[in-house]
Amino acid sequence: MTIRRVRTLLGGTALLAGTALLVACSGPAPVPPPVPPSPSPTSTAAACPKSGVAITAGEVDSAMGLRALGISLTNCGTRDYTANGYPVVRVLDEDRQPLDITVGNGSSPVSAPDSYDVPPRPVTLRPGEQVTARILWRNTVTDSTVRATDGRYLEIAPAPGEPTQIIAPSGGIDLGTTGRLAVNDWAVRDLGDR
């Protein structure tokens, strides 16, 4: 073999080797490592009480001195629950001590009767369903020698003898010197109706 032929063969081999290297380098891109799963979102909903029902409050509507607070009772349990009658409500101070307040059923202890004043009827709630009620009071001062009553919390039981739950209405419960609260019964209604 001549030197020229060996160089041609070696050159061709080098060319083949270079081509093979290029092909190997230009193959499919390497697969990146798997991305770890993103954490699942956490729930901000409160846990369901042992009673299987949760009480929540809306915003206080304070038109013309009359205060109205819509409350909801939601069946968050796994069994049917029957709501019947009026919630049991106590007003508590900032230390969660009860205040001396008279609570009446229906609107009349505080306001003229309206569409909320219907005879109570039992309502059976399947899991996830809810009923509403309304709490009324006035911020009226009738005696300037008496200190105005301001509550911070409401302690509410769905019915007499049932476990209570404490809610903190935005703005508190400013009763003035009236010392009276009115409560409407649990019913299926829109809290916007009045």
Tell which wins on pLDDT, 37 or 192.
192
| Statement: residue 185 has pLDDT above 90 | yes
Average pLDDT of the residues in 74-97 = 96
Tell which wins on pLDDT, 48 or 146.
48
| Statement: residue 38 has pLDDT above 50 | no
Beta bridge partners of 135: 69, 183
| Statement: residue 187 has pLDDT above 60 | yes
| Statement: residue 30 has pLDDT above 50 | no
| Statement: residue 39 has pLDDT above 50 | no
Architecture of domain 53-183: Sandwich (2.60)
Average pLDDT of the residues in 172-188 = 92
Query: What six digits make up the tokens of 132?
Result: 């509403």
Residues 6+ apart with CB under 8 A from 99: 90, 91, 92, 93, 149, 151
Task: Render pLDDT for 116-150 as a digit per residue (tens, 0 to 9).
Answer: 898 999 999 999 999 999 999 998 888 888 888 88
The β-bridge relationship of strands 102-105 and 180-183 is parallel
| Statement: residue 9 has pLDDT above 60 | no
